[in-house]
Chains A and B, each alone.
Chain A
Amino acid sequence: MLDDADGPPAVWVQTDDALAAVAEFRAATMWHGSFLTVPEVVTGHDGADEVLRRAAFMLRELPARYSEQMAAAADAVTQGVVDATVADGGAE
């Protein structure tokens, strides 16, 4: 732990916990967005079929896209934390 006696702590990091958190997060999100097949429904009504196709597209795309971005966000934050810790000599 790095503590600045003259004011609030500049950076205070528990590296192992942070790494564990990001590992769990990556594991939870990465594969969730990696595969999905949604059955096609044909009703004979063009409007309804189009809506259902769009819904299936959303279900395939959105979680994948957001999971990827969530993982990127986690990487960005965590890497900043880890690198700052490394720069400080691996303070715990």
Chain B
Amino acid sequence: MTWGPYSTAASLRATALALREFASHFDGRTGIFGDDVAAGDRFVETAAATWHGPRSHDDLACVRAYLDAVRPMVDAISNVATKATAFAGDADTIAGYLDTHEATLADARADTPAGESLPNEAWLAQRGIEDLHLDWLAACRRHGLLVAAAMEPLEAAYQAEASGFSAPVVTGGDYLSALIGLAASAGVDLERLGHDAAAVRRHLEHGLVGDGHALVVVVLSNASSAEAVAYWNSLTDEERIELIETRPDVAAKVLEAGGMLSAYELEQLDGANAYPVFSEEFMAEFELSARLRVATIFIGEDFTLVAMRMSDGTVQVAVAKGVHHGVGVEAENGEGEAEAAIGLFTEAQQVFVFPSEESAASAIHALEDAVEDVGIDDVAIDWFLEPLLPEGANIVNEFEAEINNLWDDYGMVATFTGGVYAEAEVEIQSAVEEAELEGEVHIAVYDTDTTELATEPARSGIIVAGSLGVHGEAGSGAGPSGGAEGVFTIDAYTNDDGDEFVTITVNGSASLGIVGEIVDRTALEWDSHAEAGVAATVEITVPADELGVGLGDIATSLARGQLPSTIDDLYDAADIRVSVDTTAELSTETEFQLGTVELNVDIARSESQNVITLHKYPDGEFFSQNHVDGLIDTELGIDPEPEPDEHTVEPTVTGEEDGTTAPSAGEEYCAALPPRSGLNIPDYIYDSDGNAIATITAGNQCVPL
């Protein structure tokens, strides 16, 4: 048998001595810690007697509540000391018995000649030592449990202290929340006294939490209206801008509570609320696409130009050129046709931001002119044959040169995407109606570069996207049309700070309208659509590590038949945006079939109006971005629903010698323009020199400039 080092009487007496010393330290701390509490009581008593003010009651109650939490710890420490002393007593008792047995055994060994067996009492003594060893282990187990039980109040205090400062829970009424309340209410007192609240606030908050900005967010999120306004007034300019940029919802609360924001701050809030993209109108889309079909080999390129009018008055224009090479199968009979393809694709996209509609419209006209000068057929031929042409013979140089010019002044984001795709389309045709079912999946990597005009940092990542749509329309001639589409995107990316995120987007839309069609089966097919619909989008962004932990917990929990515990954490960490938009679109699609070459020309103009956008920042609550927009408009004195007349511009006229005025070019244009109908698409009209002479407003009115 192996004897442990703590099984002798001497070792147990040493342990008992250490336990008594241990207990005495606890006893000593009881007194000292009790003194701390007493000092706290005296402090509160003195402060209460010498300070009376609107916030003094609450602030001192905070310290009192803290002291109440501390008091049980004094008794707990004393209790641990008592248990340790009892533990030492048992150690000494067992050591006493061990002394007797060890002496008996030692004597017997001394008296027994070598080679002879020990007497019976020696064996009994040895057996007794073994029993005492087991007794000691049992005592250790018992006293260990007793000490642990005595420590429970200390553990609770430790957890409360640790959690209170590492993860502030304001609603729990803990110590930190009381201090936050103090920080907020300090602004009210000090503002009333005309004091420099910012200096005092910084002092109050010093040392409370490591991240001062986080505290500002917590305080403003939980303060009353009056406190929020006073607290806002105590913030520095830098702190205000940081808050506006990172939590416009919280800044909007200040505005709603009657707080004052400077014109610059309002402008920043307006932009931040729209961040990153908040389009009110989808102004125009112009698309050309071409495809070469040789047997089952698909080689295609397409070019798109999309312009969006943003809520901050700017216009964003995205120009993209895509290439896809794939293989597929195609089947056709009298009732319809089906296609399926897989392949590789790349897309290079540039996004430009223009300060106004006029400058954007001018650029778009220039691009359209460049395309018209070249000719659609030339563009298609050039794209296909470009690699074979001698250097300098690129027919679309003019168009690309125009793009390069725009990039210098208005370039915002350039993205290159490459990956694989799979798509399938089924078209069922009868004499009177036609239906299409389309689905596709893309998996791609992308990389973006940004300029200082960008509202989002550069990033790179992997994206998985898919869509499934159905569309039906009259088979020939004019008739009704309608469709529905679902789109999902999973985007895992790293931003330029090295932070990793995952954004999941789900979009559903449905539309109804009318269609007109001319079909010449030999070479030409022409469709015209006018449709209106509604679209709903949910976008969820979470830090990648949070999502990894959350998904792991969800999988583990579901496997065990339990509810996942991290769903709440994931929800708190997520940035969630929910938006609903109405859409209207007018488009024409022309398809030429020239032998093995198929050329599509699609031109669409569409408009969408945001109905509502709800947003939740990490650790925040849902708020309406539209409501914040309304607040900003109200503050700026902007009528949220202006009368059409407010948009009219008095025409500039030139006086004539006879007192009459000659109509301007814009007036002449508008006078000659027949009444417009259909969609309200804002646009600018230019003369031959490229000067804007008139504008078509959202109210569908022609206004001379």
Chain A residues within CB distance 8 Å of chain B: 9-14, 17-18, 20-22, 24-25, 28-29, 32, 36, 38-45, 47-48, 50-52, 54-56, 58-59, 61-63, 65-67, 69-70, 72-81, 83-84, 86-88
A78 and B51 CA atoms in complex are apart in Å by: 9
Q: Which A residue sits closest to B83, measured CB to CB?
A: A55
A81 and B208 CA atoms in complex are apart in Å by: 18
Chain A nearest CB: distance from B78 CB in Å? Answer: 12
Partner pick for A73 among B29, B46, B179, B203, CB 8 A cutoff: B179
Q: CB-CB < 8 A to A75: which residues of B?
A: 203
B182 with A67: CB separation less than 8 A:
no
A87 and B195 CA atoms in complex are apart in Å by: 5
Chain B nearest CB: distance from A10 CB in Å? Answer: 6
B18 with A78: CB separation less than 8 A:
no
Chain A nearest CB: distance from B62 CB in Å? Answer: 7
Q: Which A residue sits closest to B54, measured CB to CB?
A: A10
Partner pick for A51 among B33, B59, B148, CB 8 A cutoff: B148
A18 with B15: CB separation less than 8 A:
no
B250 at the interface (CB under 8 A from A): no
Chain B nearest CB: distance from A28 CB in Å? Answer: 3
Q: Which A residue sits closest to B35, measured CB to CB?
A: A28
A sample of 12 inter-chain contacts (CB < 8 A) reads A21-B47, A40-B18, A44-B4, A51-B147, A56-B22, A66-B157, A69-B66, A77-B182, A79-B204, A80-B182, A80-B204, A84-B189
Partner pick for A59 among B49, B77, B182, B208, CB 8 A cutoff: B77
B36 with A66: CB separation less than 8 A:
yes
Chain B residues within CB distance 8 Å of chain A: 4-7, 11, 15, 18-19, 21-22, 25-26, 29, 32-33, 35-36, 38-40, 42-43, 46-47, 49-56, 59-60, 62-63, 66-67, 70, 73, 77, 80, 84, 87, 91, 136-137, 140-141, 143-145, 147-148, 151, 154-155, 157-158, 161, 165, 175, 179, 182-183, 186, 189-190, 192-196, 199-200, 203-204, 207-208
A62 and B42 CA atoms in complex are apart in Å by: 21
A48 with B143: CB separation less than 8 A:
yes
A48 with B158: CB separation less than 8 A:
no
A80 with B59: CB separation less than 8 A:
yes
A11 and B204 CA atoms in complex are apart in Å by: 18
The 3 closest A-B pairs by CB, nearest first: A45-B140, A87-B195, A28-B39
Q: CB-CB < 8 A to B49: which residues of A?
A: 17
B47 with A78: CB separation less than 8 A:
yes
A39 with B35: CB separation less than 8 A:
no
Given contacts A12-B53, A41-B18, A70-B66, contact A80 B32 (CB under 8 A): no
A20 and B5 CA atoms in complex are apart in Å by: 56
B6 with A43: CB separation less than 8 A:
yes
Q: Which B residue sits closest to A89, measured CB to CB?
A: B193
A28 and B38 CA atoms in complex are apart in Å by: 9
A58 with B155: CB separation less than 8 A:
yes
Q: Which A residue sits closest to B70, measured CB to CB?
A: A66
Q: CB-CB < 8 A to A83: which residues of B?
A: 190, 195, 199-200, 203
Q: CB-CB < 8 A to A41: which residues of B?
A: 15, 18-19, 22
A24 and B36 CA atoms in complex are apart in Å by: 11
A78 and B84 CA atoms in complex are apart in Å by: 40
A50 and B62 CA atoms in complex are apart in Å by: 35
Partner pick for B29 among A17, A24, A59, CB 8 A cutoff: A59
Partner pick for A11 among B11, B19, B52, B157, CB 8 A cutoff: B52
Q: Which A residue sits closest to B191, measured CB to CB?
A: A87
Chain B nearest CB: distance from A25 CB in Å? Answer: 4
B33 with A32: CB separation less than 8 A:
yes
Q: Which B residue sits closest to A33, measured CB to CB?
A: B36
Partner pick for B161 among A14, A40, A69, CB 8 A cutoff: A69
A80 and B25 CA atoms in complex are apart in Å by: 37
Q: CB-CB < 8 A to A74: which residues of B?
A: 43, 63
A42 and B50 CA atoms in complex are apart in Å by: 52
A62 and B7 CA atoms in complex are apart in Å by: 34
Q: Which B residue sits closest to A44, measured CB to CB?
A: B6
Chain B nearest CB: distance from A75 CB in Å? Answer: 8
B53 with A10: CB separation less than 8 A:
yes
Q: Which B residue sits closest to A79, measured CB to CB?
A: B203
Q: Which B residue sits closest to A43, measured CB to CB?
A: B140
A72 and B209 CA atoms in complex are apart in Å by: 12
Partner pick for A38 among B22, B56, B59, B73, CB 8 A cutoff: B22
A9 with B52: CB separation less than 8 A:
yes
Chain B nearest CB: distance from A58 CB in Å? Answer: 5
A54 with B63: CB separation less than 8 A:
no
B6 with A73: CB separation less than 8 A:
no
Given contacts A41-B15, A51-B148, A79-B203, contact A18 B47 (CB under 8 A): yes
Q: CB-CB < 8 A to B6: which residues of A?
A: 42-44
Q: Which A residue sits closest to B43, measured CB to CB?
A: A25
Q: CB-CB < 8 A to A21: which residues of B?
A: 42-43, 46-47, 50
Chain B nearest CB: distance from A89 CB in Å? Answer: 10
A67 and B62 CA atoms in complex are apart in Å by: 15
B63 with A62: CB separation less than 8 A:
no
A58 with B43: CB separation less than 8 A:
no
Given contacts A10-B192, A18-B46, A69-B161, contact A51 B144 (CB under 8 A): yes
B40 with A25: CB separation less than 8 A:
yes
Instruction: Please give 18 more A-B residue pairs, beta carbons under 8 A apart, in addition to A36-B25, A45-B137.
Output: A11-B52, A13-B53, A21-B47, A38-B22, A40-B18, A43-B136, A44-B140, A47-B144, A51-B144, A55-B84, A62-B161, A63-B32, A63-B33, A69-B175, A72-B207, A76-B179, A81-B56, A87-B193
